[in-house]
Structure 1
Amino acid sequence: MNLASYIGCNVEIPNNDEEYTEDFFFIGSCFAGEYELLNIKKHQFTTPYVYEVSSHWGINISKYTTPQILSESKRKLMELCNIMDCYLKKGDFFELYSCWVGEEAEKRESKIIFQINNFDINQIEIPEKTLVRFEK
């Protein structure tokens, strides 16, 4: 099984599916297919545009994560916020959700809200099946 992370937003953003790289983070397909994208949009997000945040493993920031995955997840989240900050206008938001592939339609466990540029990465916890809304 693979942990996938998805984002939902109100603006269309470019992905680099055709330019697959070994970078630690990119927006495009990795684990999920069209079925998973449809389920995540229907059951978790409130936005019209949905993307997989491909990183060879999802973003999981919790006390149960290994130190290596925790460190990588924090780097990925900061990079994602930097990218999305370029696309969002004041008052807009994007949503983030991570789950095991195939569990996109299952009930979420929690929901939290952060300001896109106003949170301490070392003080937050974002376990799987948590909907996170980042507001600008």
Structure 2
Amino acid sequence: MSMATYIGLNFEVQLSEYLTKDEVEICYVFSDEENRGVVKQNHFTTSSIYEVSEKGHPIWQMNEYHRIHSPHNYEKSKKTFLYLCHLLKELLPQGDYCEIYICWLGEEGEEREGNLKIDLNALQIETIEIYEKCLLRIHN
């Protein structure tokens, strides 16, 4: 099984048709249309659903457990998340938001285990903890 990082936007984006060296990309990685439909129905309010391809380290490892037990991986995940925030700051119009939901492929319909609101204009990176099955709402 694979971990999918879904992202919901209020507009469509052009998907990458070739490999790049970017730390993160918005594309389709593991999911199919049915998986994305379940996420949209159960978790998202946004209209366009994609996945985040994390070429660095998965953002779901940016939490207290990894900070203590695997600080090196925590720092890598934090770097990936900061890169994603930079991308979203450029992509999202002022006042808009996106939603991110991370789960194992096939578990999209399961109940979410948390909610987290993040403001890109007042980012407090050290207070953010990301786990699977947590809905992130990121505002610009």
TM-score range, shorter chain: 0.7 to 0.9
TM-score, normalisation: structure 2: 0.84
Aligned pair 1:12/2:12, yes or no? yes
| Structure 2: unaligned runs, 5 residues or longer | none
Give 1:90 shift: 2.1
Give 1:21 shift: 4.1
Q: Is the 8 A contact 2:23 2:83 kept in 1?
A: no
Choose 92-101 or 23-32, whichever is displaced more.
Answer: 23-32
Choose 68-77 or 96-105, whichever is displaced more.
Answer: 68-77
Query: The residue matched to 2:85 in structure 1 has which SS?
Result: helix
TM-score, normalisation: structure 1: 0.86
| Structure 1: unaligned runs, 5 residues or longer | none
Query: What residue is the counterpart of 2:25 in the other structure?
Result: 26
Give 1:45 shift: 0.5
Choose 116-125 or 46-55, whichever is displaced more.
Answer: 116-125
Give 1:78 shift: 1.4
Query: What residue is the counterpart of 1:127 in the other structure?
Result: 131
Give 1:69 shift: 3.7
Query: What residue is the counterpart of 1:74 in the other structure?
Result: 78
Give 1:86 shift: 1.7
Q: Which letter maps to 1:31?
A: F
For the aligned residue pairs, the C-alpha RMSD in angstroms reads 1.9
- Closer, same or farther in 2 for the Cα pair 1:84/1:101, shift >3 Å? same
Query: The residue matched to 1:86 in structure 2 has which SS?
Result: helix
Give 1:67 shift: 3.3
Q: How many residue pairs are counted as aligned between the two chains?
A: 135
Q: Is the 8 A contact 1:6 1:53 kept in 2?
A: yes
Q: Which letter maps to 1:36?
A: N
Deviations 1:31-56 (Å, cap 9, x if unpaired)?
22222111111111100011100126
Query: The residue matched to 1:131 in structure 2 has which SS?
Result: strand
Moved over 4 A (4+): none
Which one has a larger percent helix, Structure 1 or Structure 2?
A: 2
**Identical-pair percentage:** 37
Give 1:9 shift: 1.2
Choose 21-30 or 125-134, whichever is displaced more.
Answer: 21-30
